[in-house]
A = this chain, B = another copy of it.
Amino acid sequence: MELPRLYAITDRKKYGENFLETLEKILKKGVRMVQLREKDLKDRELYKLAKEVRALTKKYKALLLINERFDIALAVEADGVHLPEQSFPPSVVKRVNPNFIVGFSAHSLESAKYAEKEGADFITLSPIFKTSSHPEAQPIGLKTLKEVSEKVNIPVYALGGITWEKIKVCYKNGAYGIAGISMFLE
């Protein structure tokens, strides 16, 4: 299976009150992979929201990944999980469910290689540019994107401060796809 090229990451604070409506607009734009990333929700609320998002993504034949919580991913029959850099190793998820797509948030060449070795199916590499989501984070830039894309054999999604105008330069520097929160809200 070829992974979609556009990867939307949710953020309730930015999506606004009509979370599902906002997400549907994004799906209508052609996004076919979504990461539900709502770390502050309690388990019951996260489970409830994940069920709704699963139904919506299914309607658009879009892949759904859940941030970190692969119990929730299993419970709502999501397509996989997306692991933060400091979470458990991708191999742990693969051992429990080999069918899960496992994404991994890499922030350096080192962690990108680690993710590949541990069986991640793809990585997001961030932040490429300055980003409003993590204003304190130092951008790693296009040079690192290029280097990582050359040195790992799994798809690399450029993430962080990417605008529609900057997509092309990301692809030119080896990105397989583009991930983001704000860019899909424009």
Q: Which of B44, B70, B84, B86 contacts A71 (CB 8 A)?
A: B70
A69 close to B (CB within 8 Å): yes
Within 8 Å CB of A93, what residues of B? 71, 75
Within 8 Å CB of A44, what residues of B? 86-88
Instruction: Encode A20-44 as 1/0 by CB contact (under 8 A) with B.
Output: 0000000000000000000000111
A114 close to B (CB within 8 Å): no
Number of this chain's copies in the assembly equals 2
User: How many angstroms between the C-alpha atoms of A86 and B47 in the bound complex?
Assistant: 12
Pair B92/A42 contact, Cβ less than 8 Å: no
A151 close to B (CB within 8 Å): no
Interface of A is mostly: helix
Task: Output the nearest chain B residue to A71 by Cβ-Cβ distance.
Answer: B71
Interface residues of A in 54-75 (CB under 8 A from B): 68-75
With A42-B86, A86-B42 as contacts: A75 and B47 at CB distance below 8 Å: no
With A88-B43, A92-B47 as contacts: A74 and B75 at CB distance below 8 Å: no
User: How many angstroms between the C-alpha atoms of A24 and B71 in the bound complex?
Assistant: 28
Q: B-contacting residues of A (Cβ < 8 Å)?
A: 42-44, 47, 68-75, 84, 86-88, 92-93, 95-96
